[in-house]
Homo-oligomer: A and B are copies of this chain.
Amino acid sequence: MSRIVVAADFGGTNLRSALVDANGEIVDRLDVRTPASAAPAVILSDIVKLFRAISARSPVPPVGAALGVPGLIDADAGKVIIAPNVAGFRNLVLTEPIAAELGIPVFIENDASAAALGEHRFGAGRGTRNLLHATLGTGIGGGIVVEGRLYRGAKGLAGEIGHIIIDPAGPRCNCGSRGCLESMVSGVAFAERARRIIASGASPVLLEIVGYREPTAADLHAAAKAGDRQCEAEIRHGGHLLGLGLGSLVNVLNPEAITLSGGLLAMGDMLLAPMKESMFSIAYGPASGTLVRLSTLGDEAGLLGAAAVAFERVESVAPQA
């Protein structure tokens, strides 16, 4: 019987959990609504309840548990420093109280870092030693695997690839800087581009798609697919800039592969073709051989990422049976 871990993914809407075996097979699943209360005691108690419920269904006692959280994490201290989209998650030590209740080791990790480890162990990054994973969604996140292990850096912050500067004269980012990759290419950035196109009156196609709603990156793509040249040019330019950012990272990290996940991948080659072109045009010397692969984990990426973190942590204490 393969070893099993409890994996969980803390999102803004749902707190998802699963039992995952060492091959990355999801043995069972259980989701609840994300705790509505911002009180740490409520959050902790809801997580403990969920972990108890899913553990009770396991065919063998789980050897460990891990939770992916969208935010700044001090993984070694088991602490959420801040998770901007989750009320109550601020300087909150999670792992100790949960582990005390469950009687198994519990770990937390930044969700994008966990996703990188998930791709490396179970997904598109299998077989690589050094991997860069980029999550292309509302924001831009990332995770780095070095010599087969998750690279966390000094304070668990490594992989914040959305906040590399690619244009000092670029737009203001949510983080306060100017010209961050995320401020120029992301769900939020494309939505802002769509808003401006509508305001300029340049695209009747986009206006008809959006109506009186707030526009989204998906609207920009829909208008481009419907033949709107300006919307298509915005996506292609975004792909070009994304390639400059990823190409810069290739020159610094020289990974075997870059894996990509996230909602922006729905834009397909309209985004990815110019991305690859600019990325490989700046990749230096042998780095031009870097592989680009799309995530194979789909909706389960968050859970499998957390599972990969749990297995890596447990194995680093007791080698795999």
| Chain A positions near chain B (C-beta within 8 angstroms) | 72, 74, 81-82, 129-130, 142, 144, 146-147, 151-161, 163-169, 175-177, 180, 241, 244-245, 247-249, 251-256, 281-282, 284-287, 289-290
Are A168 and B168 in touch, CB under 8 angstroms? no
Among A248, A249, A281, max chain B CB count under 10 A is at: A248
Do the beta carbons of B151 and A129 come within 8 Å of each other? no
**When chains A and B are docked, how far (Å) is the Cα of A244 from the Cα of B170?**
13
B249–A252 CB distance below 8 A: yes
Point out the residues of chain B lying under 8 angstroms from A144, CB to CB: 252
Q: Is the CB of A167 within 8 A of B167?
A: yes
Q: How far is the CB of A254 from chain B (nearest CB, A)?
A: 3
A131 to chain B, nearest CB (A): 10
A287 near B254 with CB under 8 A, answer: no
User: Could you say which of A151, A163, A252, A253 has the most chain B C-beta atoms within 10 Å of its C-beta?
Assistant: A252
- A285 B168 Cβ-Cβ under 8 A: no
Min distance, Cβ A145 to any Cβ of chain B, angstroms: 11
* Contact between A146 and B151, CB atoms less than 8 A apart: yes
Residues of B within 8 A of A249 (CB): 164, 252
By a CB distance below 8 angstroms, the chain B residues around A286 are 72, 74, 81, 154-157
Q: How far is the CA of A284 from the CA of B252 in the complex (A)?
A: 19
Contact B153 A130 (CB under 8 A): yes
Measured in the bound complex, the distance between the Cα atoms of B163 and A82 in whole Å is 33
Given that A153-B130, A165-B244, A168-B244 are known contacts, is A158 also in contact with B285, CB under 8 Å in the complex? no
Interchain residue pairs A-B with the least CB separation, the first 3: A153-B254, A164-B248, A157-B254
In the complex, the answer to whether B252 meets A154 with C-beta atoms within 8 Å is: no
Interchain CA distance A256-B155 in the complex, whole Å: 8
Q: Would you call B254 and A284 a contact (CB within 8 A)?
A: no
With a cutoff of 8 Å between Cβ atoms, the chain B residues found around residue A157 in the complex are 251, 254, 284-287
Interchain CB contact under 8 A, A255 and B153: yes
B160 near A284 with CB under 8 A, answer yes
Residue of B nearest to A152 (CB): B254
Using CB atoms, name the residue of chain B closest to A132: B252
Contact A161 B72 (CB under 8 A): no
